[in-house]
Amino acid sequence: MENYNGEEQVRVNAERKKGKSLWITSLVSGTVASMVTSSVFLFGGDFIDQGKSSVNESTETAGIQQTDSVEKDKSVTAEKLSASTDSNDRAEMVESASKSIVGVVNLQEMQSQNPYQRQSTESETVESGTGSGVIYKKADGKAYIITNNHVIEGAKEVEISLYDGQKATAAVVGADALTDLAVLTIDSSKAPEGIKFGNSDSMRPGEEVLAIGNPLGLDFSRSVTQGIVSATGRTISVDTSDGEWALDVLQTDAAINPGNSGGALINTAGEVIGINSLKISENGVEGLGFAIPSNDVIPIVTELIENGKITRPYLGVSLASIDELPQHYIQNVPEAAESGVMVTSIEAGSAAANGGLKQQDIIVDIDGTKINTAAALRKYLYTDKKIGDKVKIKVYRGTEEKTVTITLQKP
């Protein structure tokens, strides 16, 4: 599929069973696409630097009731007051929230060719993409900004554009490719106060939401679109530069476009309930955007601020799904192992090596949880286990079924 405006595209695997392929688009606008590749999966825990879209509103809707039994003048007066009050409240909320939404510009170093020299010796920093960000809080002289990992991926420098036209160079506190989140800081004296984060678990399909961000770049900065929460509890399988991952998201029909990545999805109380990250990009598809829920965002952001990275249990293997392997690798695979994942390599001294896993073992189960993709294995280890835990892994070694017990390690 052709990239639109330099946006990053990653394949959605959610509809494989139906034989249907969709494309999910990370919403970055710019001149250079951030390429996300993943063919071999090495399970590690430190993920730093990189750069996936939705928003939520609350349950109240601005409606005007028609009352046939009320006198005309009184009815008109009541209608005007109701609509005007609600409209003003909404506009004031948006105006306040928008001040905490920033533009994020990814600047990368590009080599320029000198026509009088055989080799390129000069370089310049150029804009490779733009996205959005949300001011989370101010502390210790710094303003902390949340954005998507894919917005800042590969950046030599990150520039922040504030609501009042000021620009500031940001420092990258930390970033995580799998959850597609990153934290930046700028001098707090230049920034407004942070925006309040709400409870994404309280959102229900049908509740109104607003998306605020910078679609198609800074020329349309802090654009506001309205929609509803289309669904909660969605899981989108995506390929990232750190491997395949099952990303939990909120779905919305609020209009989002390249450049909205990292922007806010807010409820009608003006609280952030999601960080806009993805959209389905396919002919004939409209209104399918996704945001990382706020309740998933805050723990990751907190750890990034405290440690500068996300440290996860380390297995130390590279994996491939059975359907990705050449036929000669799987011609004698038992039927029970046909939906598993094969160990293609093992790092020396790793948890997998110490626990007795072997190359070409086919993993089918961990602690009773069926494993049919590398993303499923990651999801189980990274969400349900911690460093030092023991896991029982059921594998097929040739035609023989075995169970190995492994103690998870630090990276």
- Quick check: is 39 catalytic? no
160 vs 188: CA distance, rounded Å: 12
**Closest residue by Cα to residue 112 from 128, 126, 133, 94:** 126
Q: What is the DSSP letter of 33?
A: P
Query: If you compute the radius of gyration of the chain from its CA atoms, what whole number of angstroms results?
Result: 24
3 state DSSP class of 219:
helix
Which residue stretches of 185-236 are H helix? none
Return the biggest CA–CA distance within the chain.
Answer: 86
Catalytic residue (choose from 180, 239, 248, 361):
180
71 vs 249: CA distance, rounded Å: 48
Cα–Cα distances (Å) from 339 to 41, 322, 329, in that order, read 17, 7, 14
3 state DSSP class of 382:
helix
35 vs 408: CA distance, rounded Å: 31
- Quick check: is 328 catalytic? no
Q: 114: how many CB neighbours lie within 10 A of its CB?
A: 10
3 state DSSP class of 197:
strand
Contact 365, 341 (CB under 8 A): no
Catalytic residue (choose from 54, 261, 277, 281):
261
Q: What is the DSSP letter of 172?
A: E
**Closest residue by Cα to residue 341 from 305, 366, 367:** 366
- Quick check: is 180 catalytic? yes
Q: What is the DSSP letter of 405?
A: E
- Burial status of residue 334 (CB atoms within 10 A of its CB: 0-12, 13-18, 19 or more): middle
The residues facing 250 across adjacent strands are: 291
Catalytic residue (choose from 29, 53, 98, 150):
150
**Closest residue by Cα to residue 250 from 263, 237, 235, 232:** 232
**Closest residue by Cα to residue 104 from 262, 297, 305, 308:** 262
By annotation, the residues acting in catalysis are 150, 180, 261
